[in-house]
Amino acid sequence: MPTLDELAAAALLLGLIMYAVFGGADFGGGIWTALASGPRKQEQRESLFHAIGPVWETNHVWLIYVVVVLFMVFPRAFAALFIALLAPLVIALVGINFRGAAFAFRHFGRQTGRGVPLIARTFGISSMLTPMALGMAVVATAGGSIRLEAGRVLAAPWHWINPFTLVGGLIGMAICAYLTPIYMAVRTRGELQEDFRRRGMIAALVLGGLTTLQIPVAMLNAPAFAARLGLPRTLVCIALTVGCGLLTEVLLWRRRFAAAQIGAGATVAFTLLGFAAALYPDLLLGQLSIAEAAAPRATLLAFFTVLPFGVIVLAPSLFYLYWTFRGSPDPEAPPEDFRL
């Protein structure tokens, strides 16, 4: 039977997964507007912007969810992480700022016809920078470069830049770039759909390559983390990730897009679950465990008391949102039904 702290850690992980699966696709939209290529470059960009429109604010609330859960339920971890990882978090934050603003300005910019190239470039660059920095920050919790001694946080100034975190950052970016084209393939038709299908399959190979690369890098650079990769629970997650990833490629190959989008989301979820399984029972590898970081019991109880009320309000609302904007990415167009 899991303890209350472990359940809270699961809620935290769930938030992170939701952010990766929904918010990540949003960043991926930015990445692919920057990387748009071929004869349908403009259509690719247009459809990406259309698709992000109605859901981007909602998708980014998951990040706030993660931050709030962290400081409410694991205040010690929150303080330690935000002290040790100030630099990458600031970079992510600046990226989030410019990205959100660039996206919002785009609506007006297109109308007035000014500043569009600058806005598009800002949007593209910050869409890469933010998941990179966030990926580095998340992976740094397992890198062993942050130490806690008598309540003080000890870390070298540039500790968060090393091969292990850099590959982690690239994985963060690759996750985003992987999800978007697959989600888009469901929402587009014809040649545009083929464009996204191809991009999704290539991105899948990149993501798979990077996560595989991370294993030898961890052995050299983060041995404590690498040692945990051999645990049965981690191996199960890795097997599930590989299985889902391969299945998604097959589904894309056979143009089963609706199923592929679920497979892609599951691949990303299992990737993060695998990372968490290796990190468990710690929040900061070898330094701070879930139990040590947890808030007093009354706070955990309050957290789990409020949770179901939130779910009762949010789950149908979210469903209504995604259901209303299903089908064609243009919100002005009538919805088409999913063809499963």
Partner 1 sequence: MDNVMAARALMGVSLGFHIIYATIGIGLPLMLMLAEGIALRTGDELYHRMARAWIRPAGLLFAIGAVSGTVLSFELGLLWPRFMEFSGPLIGMPFWMEGYAFFTEAIFLALYIYGEQRLSRRALFLCTIPLALSAALSAVFVISANAWMNTPTGFTLEGGALRDVSPLAAMLNPAFAHQAVHGTLAAYAATGFGMAGIYALALLRQGASPYLKRVLVLALAVGSCSLPFMLVSGDWAAAFLAEHQPTKLAAAEAHFETMAGAPLVIGGWPDPATGEVHFGIKIPKLLSLLAYKDPAGVVRGLNDFPADEVPDPRLVHPFFDLMVGAFFIMAAVAGWFWWRIWLKDDITGNRRLLWLVVLAAPFGLIALECGWMVTEFGRQPWIIQGVMKVAAGATPNEGIAVLFAVFLLVYILLTAGLMKMLLPAEPPTAGPVADREERHADS
Binding test (CB under 8 A) with partner 1, winner from 19, 22, 32, 103:
103
Q: Which of 12, 25, 27 is nearest to 267 (CA)?
A: 25
Q: 């243009």: which residue's tokens?
A: 330
* Residue 75 CB, nearest approach to partner 1 (Å): 4
* Residue 110 CB, nearest approach to partner 1 (Å): 6
Q: Which of 93, 166, 100, 156 is nearest to 135 (CA)?
A: 166
73 contacts 300 by C-beta, under 8 angstroms = yes
For the chain, the 3-state helix, strand and coil shares in percent, each to the nearest 5, are 80, 5, 20
Size, binding site for partner 1 by CB under 8 A: 72
173 contacts 135 by C-beta, under 8 angstroms = yes
* Residue 17 CB, nearest approach to partner 1 (Å): 16
Site residues for partner 1, window 32-91 (CB under 8 A)?
Answer: 50, 53-55, 57-58, 60-61, 63-65, 67-73, 75-76, 78-83, 86, 89-90
Per-residue x/- marks for partner 1, 300-339, CB under 8 A? --xx--x--xx--xx--xx-xx--xx----xxxxxx----
No. of helices (H) and no. of strands (E), the chain: 14, 4
Quote the DSSP letter at residue 159: T
Q: Quick one: 90 or 239, whose CB is closer to partner 1? A: 90
Gap between the Cα atoms of 226 and 143, Å rounded: 10
* Residue 281 CB, nearest approach to partner 1 (Å): 20
Q: Quick one: 178 or 303, whose CB is closer to partner 1? A: 303
Which part of the chain contacts partner 1 (CB under 8 A), choosing from 36-44, 97-105, 142-150, 227-235?
A: 97-105
Q: 């957290």: which residue's tokens?
A: 303
Q: Quick one: 134 or 203, whose CB is closer to partner 1? A: 134
